[in-house]
């Protein structure tokens, strides 16, 4: 329609200055006045031409068309902006509250969000209002031209808030500030890269949130920027991605019941252990020498005949992971010579986890009888597993094996692929940091490292000291306890005072 209008207008411009047969002839002075008024009204910023130039009516018509086209373009741009604003605001429940702090369940709108959605957020304010934003920023109402100030010391009286983000499906959460609160630690670059869409869904459209990457700051951006995960970002950021410190219970299935993990509860009713480890299935070699997953009688019974115990834990929010332990054969975690064998085993593990509905795999690289060991085997198979498993848990039992974290494969190290590494020198003296120092030196983030205690080899008092050390040093892998049994109540309550045990639960 616009094209037809412009063609018609252009034809009209070319007919100006000549007589069309059968048409009435206008008074030239009236025509000049009419064109002059039209040009001035459509583009008032354009200076009127000098009187002698009015004879060039084609020039005049071109100015009219240009002015109309400019206004149409501006109208289209404002329409697009309005639609974008409405789309953005659909992501946030915005409210103004008295005071300078948002109530529970809400977080202050950031200046980045307010700047990118200026008209939309401004519409929530009375014309003469001045509202506090995150980080001592402010936003004025329409009478103040919806101005966003990054640092405003004036008293505002109200704060503009949005519904707080909820944790993502992988346990990550986005919070305001540069530090993670309470029993949580900064999420890593690889945490977010494993499932950026889930993290992005918990962010504001124009948020940019802090991550950590080998001791440096990284970031992930909101959907307005394409949910991009950046390995390095030196900007000052208003939000952080955090993850809870996890506690892991290993259960020796040969003599203990997996269901006992769910009996231990915090004061708020949440489980003490966030991960239950089925210990253990094995890596065997088949007739062709390929690595395969083998289940002994007890683990096979759990997964094939008693799977409801797994589902009951998962219903409580506990992740159920299976340990794969070498089995004195020519197959194992350090025995993959090439990508083809590593990829094939990763596919085997994926199909196994999918079949039983498990939440991840734990690497225990002990007790193989391989003819050849390959220094890059673990990073090779770790890379293949991460590609196959996506955001599922990939953890590793750590014991005097920091050298495995040095080799690089396809630009990645083993530590980049792991969700967690849990150090298991149960009777080692010293602090928790002494036990993980070698892994920190290899560039593994604190948020991925945890320390283990044994209900057999570690005293309850030493385990409690380790747990305090873990919290003080923000080790995100938390406390690992091996082996949780029906007689572990005193040990667990010594490590976490105040927890309860569900009645008639341990057996």
As annotated, the active-site residues are 366
- Angle, CA of 248, 469 and 433, to the nearest 5°: 90
Displacement of CA 192 from its chain's centroid (Å): 4
Specify the DSSP class assigned to residue 169: T
Partners of 398 in the beta sheet? 423
Give the whole-angstrom CA distance, residue 143 versus residue 129. 8
The closest of 472, 490, 488 to 432, measured between CA atoms, is 472
CA–CA gap between residue 205 and residue 195 (Å, rounded): 17
| CB 343 within 8 Å of CB 299 | no
How many whole angstroms from its chain centre is CA 369?
40
Torsion of CA 263, 266, 267, 270, to 10 degrees: -90
Residue 5 phi/psi, 5-degree rounding, is -65, -45
Report the candidate in 196, 211, 113, 119 with the shortest Cα–Cα distance to residue 162: 113
Query: Does 335 sit behind a cis peptide bond, omega within 30 degrees of 0 on the bond before it?
Result: no
Q: How far is CA 481 from the centre of its chain?
A: 28
Cβ atoms 246, 272 nearer than 8 A = no
Query: Cα(299)–Cα(36) distance, rounded to whole angstroms?
Result: 91
* Spatial CA neighbour of 121 closest among 157, 99, 93: 93
Ramachandran bin of 430, using left for φ above 0, alpha for ψ from -120 to 50, beta for the remaining angles: left
Buried b / exposed e over 480-506, threshold 16 CB at 10 Å, is bbbbbbeebbebbbebbeeeebeeeeb
Whether the CB-CB separation of 349 and 359 falls below 8 Å is answered with no
């Amino acid at each position: 329609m616009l094209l037809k209008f412009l063609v018609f207008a252009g034809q009209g411009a070319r007919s100006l200055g000549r007589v069309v047969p059968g048409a009435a002839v206008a008074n030239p002075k009236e025509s000049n006045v009419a064109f002059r008024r039209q040009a001035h009204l459509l583009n008032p910023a354009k200076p009127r031409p000098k009187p002698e130039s009015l004879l060039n009516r084609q020039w005049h018509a071109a100015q009219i068309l240009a002015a109309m086209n400019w206004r149409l373009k501006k109208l289209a741009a404002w329409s697009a902006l309005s639609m974008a604003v409405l789309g953005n605001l659909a992501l946030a429940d915005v409210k103004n509250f008295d005071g300078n702090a948002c109530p529970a369940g809400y977080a202050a709108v950031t200046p980045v969000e307010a700047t990118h959605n200026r008209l939309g957020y401004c519409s929530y304010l009375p014309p003469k209002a001045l509202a506090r934003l995150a980080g001592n920023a402010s936003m004025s109402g329409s009478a103040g031209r919806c101005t966003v100030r990054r640092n405003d010391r004036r008293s505002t009286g109200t704060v503009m808030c949005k519904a707080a983000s909820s944790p993502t499906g992988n346990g990550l959460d986005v919070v305001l500030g540069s530090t993670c609160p309470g029993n949580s630690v900064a999420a890593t670059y690889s945490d977010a890269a494993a499932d950026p869409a889930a993290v992005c869904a918990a962010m504001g459209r124009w948020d940019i949130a802090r991550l950590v990457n080998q001791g440096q700051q990284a970031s992930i951006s909101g959907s307005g920027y394409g949910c991009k995960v950046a390995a390095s970002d030196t900007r000052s950021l208003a939000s952080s991605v955090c993850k809870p410190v996890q506690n892991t219970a290993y259960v020796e299935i040969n003599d203990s019941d997996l269901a006992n993990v769910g009996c231990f509860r915090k004061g708020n009713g949440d489980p003490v252990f966030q991960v239950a480890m089925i210990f253990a299935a094995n890596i065997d070699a088949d007739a062709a020498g390929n690595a395969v997953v083998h289940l002994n009688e007890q683990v096979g019974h759990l997964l094939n005949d008693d799977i409801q115990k797994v589902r009951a834990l998962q219903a409580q929010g506990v992740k159920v992971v299976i340990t794969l332990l070498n089995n004195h054969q020519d197959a194992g975690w350090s025995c993959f010579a090439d990508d083809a064998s590593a990829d094939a085993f990763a596919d085997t593990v994926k199909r196994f986890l999918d079949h039983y509905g498990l939440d991840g795999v734990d690497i225990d690289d002990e007790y193989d009888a391989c003819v050849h060991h390959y220094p890059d085997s673990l990073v090779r198979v770790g890379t293949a597993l991460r590609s196959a498993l996506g955001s599922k848990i990939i953890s590793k039992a750590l014991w005097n094996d920091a050298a495995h974290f040095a080799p690089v494969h396809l630009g990645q190290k083993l530590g980049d692929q792991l969700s967690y590494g849990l150090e298991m020198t149960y009777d080692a003296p010293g602090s928790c940091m002494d036990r993980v120092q070698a892994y920190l030196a290899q560039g593994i983030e604190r948020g991925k490292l945890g320390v283990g205690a044994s209900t057999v080899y570690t005293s309850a008092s030493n385990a409690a000291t380790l747990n305090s050390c873990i919290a003080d040093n923000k080790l995100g892998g938390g406390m690992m306890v091996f082996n949780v049994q029906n007689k572990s109540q005193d040990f667990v309550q010594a490590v976490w005072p105040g927890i309860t045990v569900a009645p008639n639960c341990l057996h």
